[in-house]
Amino acid sequence: MNGIDVSEFNGDVDWQTAKNAGLQFAILRCGYGSDTFNQDDKTFTRNVAECERLSIPYGIYLYSYALNTENAKSELAHILRLVKGHKPQFPVYLDMEDADGYKAAHGMPSPRTLTDIIHTVCRGLKSAGYLAGYYVNKDWYDHFIYPNELGNYVFWYARPGIARPDKECGVWQSSFPETGGHWPGADISDSGCDTDISYVDYPEIVRREGLNGWEKERTDIQRALSTETGKIIWTKCMIDTTMNLSRTAGVCYTIKMTCPERPKVTSGTAGVVCVCPVTPCGTNIWLCNLVGYGKGSTGIYTQVSGEPVCKRFIFQVT
């Protein structure tokens, strides 16, 4: 997944343009340092609203100025205040760096203290139900923290200018403006934009596990479109195909269903797909072969007792 990370320094991002250019996620700065309103990121509220409006999955980060764990507790409160009422689909990160030299000027904390700062914030985020992570570059990873103690949190790695990350990470910050980072609609004036690559499907994890304010998804039922109401409902017939698909005429496609009873499978348009009989394949497992024989498209529907007919996907025959 290709993404960007932005702050008020990016100005007012044109999120529609960014999405049209293929943006798949964003990580938004909520602020920096301790929990005071004048340290909130000035564009955070707008960025969240735009990502939610355009269904762009987003994560959140706070730039840390903490010199000790007491400072870290205030930074935790800062994040929790701003994330309240929102449901990010990517992790919530603590950004550990010293880009402006503040920590060095005030006595750089030891690796022990810096690691404890990460623990303080990330443990607090996890306790509040968030997927917690931390951000460092290679120098910080190698010399400023104890990463072997941070395995309970996800890692966002800043390492631009190389072909691939040299450390295991969930998200890799692959470029800065200085290294050629650019994204339509999000570039800093006369500069560029930080770009990122996610190697983990965080939205799936967050929704499945019920993190970041999301309701935990049940594993015994599945969402489907009711033909009676035109609304999404829960059905006990779980199917392995939830995306529309296309097949050449004569090619057999098998759908697998999990259901406590034999489901009925039908085609909505005659003359396009032959729906073979549903056959058992183990306890509560059912198979149904679909063979296209006429060019066109049709909805594929399932029905079980006590539930309306549900549209599951569109089958196109070419």
What secondary structure does DSSP assign to 180-212, as a single string? T---TTTPPTTS--EEEEE-S-HHHHHHHHT-T
Give pLDDT tens digits for 230-258.
999 999 999 999 899 999 999 999 999 99
Q: What is the SS3 assignment for 21?
A: coil
Q: What is the SS3 assignment for 44?
A: helix
- What's the pLDDT score for residue 190? 81
The pLDDT-based confidence of 284 (bands split at 50, 70, 90) is very high
Integer Cα distance of 207 and 231 in angstroms: 20
Residue 11 backbone class (left: φ over 0; alpha: ψ -120 to 50; beta: rest): left
- Rounded to an integer, the average pLDDT of 254-280 is 96
- For 69, residues 6+ apart whose C-beta sits below 8 A from its C-beta are 113, 116, 117, 120
Q: pTM of the full predicted structure?
A: 0.70
Helices (H), the chain: 15-20, 44-53, 69-83, 102-105, 111-127, 138-143, 202-209
CA distances to 119, 126, 248 from 113, in Å: 10, 20, 62
Considering the chain, what is the average pLDDT of its residues?
95
Integer Cα distance of 34 and 73 in angstroms: 8
- What's the pLDDT score for residue 161? 87
In order of their start, the domains of the chain are: 2-209 (3.20.20.80), 222-317 (2.60.40.1080)
CB atoms under 10 Å from CB of 236, counted, come to 17
The pLDDT-based confidence of 179 (bands split at 50, 70, 90) is confident
Q: What is the SS3 assignment for 1?
A: coil
Integer Cα distance of 126 and 94 in angstroms: 12
- Rounded to an integer, the average pLDDT of 90-94 is 98
- What's the pLDDT score for residue 232? 92
Which tokens belong to 124? 């607090």
The pLDDT-based confidence of 98 (bands split at 50, 70, 90) is very high
Which tokens belong to 152? 């309970």
Residue 219 pLDDT exceeds 80: no
Integer Cα distance of 41 and 30 in angstroms: 5
- What's the pLDDT score for residue 53? 95
Q: How many alpha carbons lie under 13 Å from residue 121 in its C-beta half-sphere?
A: 36
Decide: 269 and 233 in contact? Cβ < 8 Å: no
